[in-house]
Amino acid sequence: EVFSSYENVRNINKIEDHLVQLLSDYISEDRERLDTLERFHQYVIKSKNYTDPGESYIKYPTNQFNVIHRFVADWKNLEAWTSSRNEAIASAFNTYRQYFPDQNDVDGAITAIHRLQDIYKIRASHFSRGDPISSVEGSEVRGQPFNEKALLLFIKDAYKKEEWLRCAGWGQQAFQQLQTGKEYDPPTSSLWFDISDHFAYCLYKAGDLQHAVEVTAEMLVHYPKHKRLIGNMKHFNDLVKKGEVKLDPSKSKRSVISEPLINLGEVQDEDVEITFIPKLYPGADKVVLTEKQIYEDVQDKDNKNWGLRIQKYKKLCKEEPSLTPKIKRQVERLTCYYKQDTPRSYLKPIKVEVAWPSPRILLFHDLITDEEADALISIAQPRLDRATVHNKKTGMLENAHYRVSKTAWLDNDLPEDKEGIVRRVNRRMEDATELSHDYAELQQINNYGMGGQYEPHYDMATLHDMKVQKRKQSAEGNRIATLLVYLREPEAGGATIFTDSGVRLLSRKNAAAFWYNLLPNGDPDLITRHAGCPVLAGTKWVMNKWFHANDQVFTRPCDLEELRREKDSKLYNGQYTI
């Protein structure tokens, strides 16, 4: 018993004091933990703008990045904090963990956003503010602002790849946000230092010494004894003194430098002889780096022709091609007609538009219905795998940066395809093209996400491919024709373009583009080189149907005259024109 002894009571009284202390530690730790959780909770709710649940949030590319990044950076930590205290959360984490993105996904998303910058000429500031992207229908997709932590990841990625101008572009945005942002990170924070440090270095490497000096000087105000910064400043001065570089005060970007004014006299280090005090002009803050500079910097480092092709790709993806008068006249003569010459198409005519003269490209409008498109997408969804390409050297299939999409091949008679939609759509494609389906490949469904693309390529094997791979012509023959069905169109970007003839087709839901990859004599038609442009907002779904050369003699008889492209089939003769 305790009560009968004063000493005993004194003892438990002390114990209680200790317990109270532990409890109050526990409460304040927990409160801190809950405060952090609450801040994160509010941040996610606010940025996802829960008034409009569903998919609209992830139509904007940097919002997609933010979701992916939150899983890698935040949710993982939150699991450790919450799951031991809450069964529902713990079991949700267990169920969902298999779907969580990882660092590879973050890196892939950064690369995709950099690709979108290059092709659609979008500045870091545009993405970072979540400025609107105009959609094909004229509506707008808006994003959420980026915080400085996310910006630093983009800076570091460009830095690692030695893309100095790009790095400086993101750096400029981050530096500006540091000065003006709501979530104020003072110069004493490691984030401030890290951003400024990368920014200054990238500016220097990008050849913008004026600005590099200004940022370094600003850093020296806050870190006057920092050895490396002092060394950098000295190096900059040496360059100027030797006349290797000139400072250009007219390029000054004064507005991004916070008060107080730079005073290099504050640097206290006997070794350093600072002779230069940058002149800062508050008005000259428009643009330090021209867009042209940014995009030249990140051009393809491959061979020259490939570089040229990529240039065409980028140009065509971004804007409507300008036509020569000759092509313009040809395009104006193109027709539309109803095709009604098979029993099935007699009942349901197929709308054909001749979209381009050479290579002849046809568009079959409303080839499939909304329900069919949705059904094919939902059958494909669980089967999607990262698209692979043939490595011409090794003959192996592998992932590649130039083909970024997910792919599924659809058989006839899949158990979930109760209505036989795959088979029905195959028949419709046969009716439209009049090509024999016997040697055709399965339907290949492709889904492109943010920045998803397929750079210029041929669908058929070229003679060069066959030589390199010592490949014999297969029994089914080369891919004679492509039918590309648009199952779902993206909000912005994602055109199909033909680099060598300057054609640009915007995805049009339920329509299909058709062209021959082979000339009538069976040789590859090298003018058919084409590409799928990066998806800028939303997502794009297409289906490829590749017909093979074997068994097509009735629709497309061989012709030794290899250039008679336009005369080579009933379809192309336009004999159905009404």
Ligand X SMILES: O=C(O)CCC(=O)C(=O)O
Site residues for Fe ion per CB under 5 A: 459
Report long-range pairs for 181-186 (Cβ below 8 Å, ≥24 apart).
Answer: 181/147, 181/148, 183/147, 183/148, 185/148
Distance of closest approach, residue 299 Cβ to Fe ion, in angstroms: 23
- Comparison of 341 and 353: residue with beta carbon closer to ligand X: 353
- Integer Cα distance of 136 and 185 in angstroms: 39
- Integer Cα distance of 106 and 118 in angstroms: 19
Q: Map tokens 């230069």 to a residue.
A: 276
- Comparison of 197 and 459: residue with beta carbon closer to Fe ion: 459
Residue type, 409: W
Using CB under 6 A as the binding rule, whether residue 115 contacts ligand X is answered as: no
| Size (the chain), residues | 578
Residue nearest to ligand X as judged by C-beta position: 532
- Comparison of 493 and 520: residue with beta carbon closer to ligand X: 493
- Report what 496 binds from ligand X, Fe ion, none; CB cut-off 5-8 Å by kind: ligand X
Using CB under 6 A as the binding rule, whether residue 443 contacts ligand X is answered as: no
- Comparison of 311 and 407: residue with beta carbon closer to ligand X: 407
Applying CB under 6 A, which of residues 197, 455, 459, 525 lies at the interface with ligand X? 459
- Comparison of 484 and 518: residue with beta carbon closer to ligand X: 484
- Report what 339 binds from Fe ion, ligand X, none; CB cut-off 5-8 Å by kind: none
Using CB under 6 A as the binding rule, whether residue 198 contacts ligand X is answered as: no
- Report what 517 binds from Fe ion, ligand X, none; CB cut-off 5-8 Å by kind: none
Using CB under 6 A as the binding rule, whether residue 446 contacts ligand X is answered as: yes
- Report what 436 binds from Fe ion, ligand X, none; CB cut-off 5-8 Å by kind: none
Distance of closest approach, residue 76 Cβ to ligand X, in angstroms: 34
Using CB under 6 A as the binding rule, whether residue 510 contacts ligand X is answered as: no
Contact 189, 174 (CB under 8 A): no
Distance of closest approach, residue 143 Cβ to ligand X, in angstroms: 24
Distance of closest approach, residue 531 Cβ to Fe ion, in angstroms: 8
Task: State the binding string over 373-412 for ligand X (x if CB under 6 A, else -).
Answer: ----------------------------------------
- Comparison of 431 and 459: residue with beta carbon closer to Fe ion: 459
- Comparison of 117 and 507: residue with beta carbon closer to ligand X: 507
- Comparison of 288 and 408: residue with beta carbon closer to ligand X: 408
- Report what 278 binds from ligand X, Fe ion, none; CB cut-off 5-8 Å by kind: none
- Integer Cα distance of 211 and 242 in angstroms: 19
Residue type, 544: N
Nearest to 70 by CA among 172, 179, 144, 181: 144
Q: Cis peptide leading into 260, omega within 30 of 0?
A: yes
Q: What are phi and psi of 546, to 5 degrees?
A: -105, 120
Q: Residue 561: which residues within 8 A CB-CB, separation 6 or more? A: 520, 521
- Integer Cα distance of 473 and 480 in angstroms: 12
- Comparison of 278 and 452: residue with beta carbon closer to ligand X: 452
Q: Residue 287: which residues within 8 A CB-CB, separation 6 or more? A: none
- Report what 446 binds from Fe ion, ligand X, none; CB cut-off 5-8 Å by kind: ligand X
DSSP 3-state assignment of 179? helix
In this structure, the number of other CB atoms found within 10 A of the CB of residue 253 comes to 23
Give kind and range of the element (H or E) at residue 191.
helix 190-205
Bridge partners of residue 362, in order along the sequence = 354, 514
DSSP 3-state assignment of 29? helix
Q: What are phi and psi of 408, to 5 degrees?
A: -140, 145
- Comparison of 150 and 460: residue with beta carbon closer to ligand X: 460
Using CB under 6 A as the binding rule, whether residue 532 contacts ligand X is answered as: yes
- Comparison of 146 and 364: residue with beta carbon closer to ligand X: 364
Applying CB under 6 A, which of residues 313, 454, 515, 547 lies at the interface with ligand X? 454
CA 307 to each of CA 298, 304, 310, 456, 533: distance values in angstroms, whole numbers, following the listed order: 11, 5, 5, 11, 16
- Integer Cα distance of 143 and 133 in angstroms: 9
- Integer Cα distance of 364 and 368 in angstroms: 9
Contact 541, 510 (CB under 8 A): no
Q: Residue 96: which residues within 8 A CB-CB, separation 6 or more? A: none
Distance of closest approach, residue 407 Cβ to ligand X, in angstroms: 8
Task: State the binding string over 150-179 for ligand X (x if CB under 6 A, else -).
Answer: ------------------------------
Task: State the binding string over 540-569 for ligand X (x if CB under 6 A, else -).
Answer: --x-x-------------------------
Distance of closest approach, residue 313 Cβ to ligand X, in angstroms: 12
Distance of closest approach, residue 531 Cβ to ligand X, in angstroms: 7
- Comparison of 297 and 459: residue with beta carbon closer to Fe ion: 459
Distance of closest approach, residue 457 Cβ to Fe ion, in angstroms: 6
Distance of closest approach, residue 456 Cβ to ligand X, in angstroms: 9
- Report what 542 binds from Fe ion, ligand X, none; CB cut-off 5-8 Å by kind: ligand X
Q: Map tokens 């963990």 to a residue.
A: 97
Three-state SS annotation for 496-531:
EEECCCCEEECCCCCCEEEEECECCCCCECHHHCEE
Burial of 254 (0-12, 13-18, 19+ CB in 10 A): middle
- Comparison of 422 and 484: residue with beta carbon closer to ligand X: 484
Task: State the binding string over 464-493 for ligand X (x if CB under 6 A, else -).
Answer: --------------------x---------
Q: How many residues lie near ligand X (CB under 6 A)?
A: 9
Give kind and range of the element (H or E) at residue 221.
helix 209-222
Distance of closest approach, residue 517 Cβ to Fe ion, in angstroms: 9
Name the site residues for ligand X (rule: CB under 6 A): 446, 454, 459, 484, 496, 530, 532, 542, 544
